[in-house]
Amino acid sequence: MTITQKLHQIQKYSGKTQEELARDLGVSFPTLNSWINGKSQPRTKATEKINSLYLEYLGDTSIGINILEKKNKELQRLKQQFPEPFSLIMSRKDIYDDFLLSLTYHTNSIEGSTFNEPDVKAVLFDDVTIPNKSVREHQEAKNHQGALGFVMRWIRDKNNAIDEEFIKHIHQILMNGIMHNAGEYRKHSVRIAGVNVPTSNYLSIDGHLSEFIETFNQFQKKSLNQVEHIAQTHAIFEQIHPFSDGNGRVGRLLMLIIALKYNLAPVLIKKEKKQAYYTYLEESQVKNNSIPLTSLIFDALFEGYKLLITNT
């Protein structure tokens, strides 16, 4: 792939303007424009930066275990700084609202919502209707608000294990008014768009969900590698794909539960990492290589800690 093609891909998946991308690369707008249009080629250091950004946004499946070790050291430092993120979030409305806004904006954007962050803020906190936006997008934002509230109350009340009804109820809240069968497993085959991952036969969903729930509830075993556990359970759930729609949003809320149960910050996968996220899920599901996805979950946890740092 040429540098021009990589720059176009970076722009597509990061959502950055040419001005923003030029700043990231430390060059002028005319210089970047010249590279994008194939009129000139970057030098070695600039090429290395472009390649690094390309892998960041589209995925690098060659990530090694040494990367995880470095990220784990940083995570341990943050855990000492914020020993009980859940208690902090629940005790401060400003922090809770910040997480609600960020999680809602990014999880729905990953699924195709065209709301920007100010749109989401206006819908969630001011009950505003955004002109020229679909009813579904408004409903998705409000539903995620309700689902997150349900999940946070469940954690607060010290319930230690989830079950199928719990998962169905999250889906019912998320897809209320959007799907006629919200809260019900699909009764047909389905393919995940854009990836080559076999999903569970709809007749096997009950059995596969039972196995998933058993694996999920192992967060009570302190010997587990916590971040790897989050990554692996998420990959399993998304491959089962139990619902006709809304699986990603349900799965990301389930990740949040495990993280908070481990006294970690919420997992915040940003919309700019969408393509890398899908690449790493497929790598884990098809090739049983969970290292890249685990690395991405580390980064998503760091995004959660950034919100704590900003508000304290």
What pLDDT, in 10s, does the model give residues 117-157? Answer: 999 999 999 999 999 999 999 999 999 999 999 999 999 98
Q: What is the pTM of this model?
A: 0.90
How far is 21 from 84, CA to CA, in rounded Å? Answer: 36
How far is 197 from 238, CA to CA, in rounded Å? Answer: 10
> Would you state the pLDDT for residue 222?
63
> Would you state the pLDDT for residue 223?
59
Among the four given CATH numbers 1.10.260, 2.20.25, 3.30.2010, 1.10.8, the one describing domain 3-56: 1.10.260
> Within a 10 A sphere around the Cβ of 34, how many other Cβ atoms?
15
The CATH number assigned to the domain with range 59-310 reads: 1.10.3290.10
In this structure, what token pair is assigned to residue 221?
Answer: 């075993």
Residue ranges covered by each domain of the chain = 3-56, 59-310
Same fold? 3-56, 59-310: no
**pLDDT (tens digit per residue) in 15-55:** 888 898 999 999 998 999 999 998 899 989 889 999 888 88
161: CB partners within 8 A, 6+ apart? 213, 217, 220
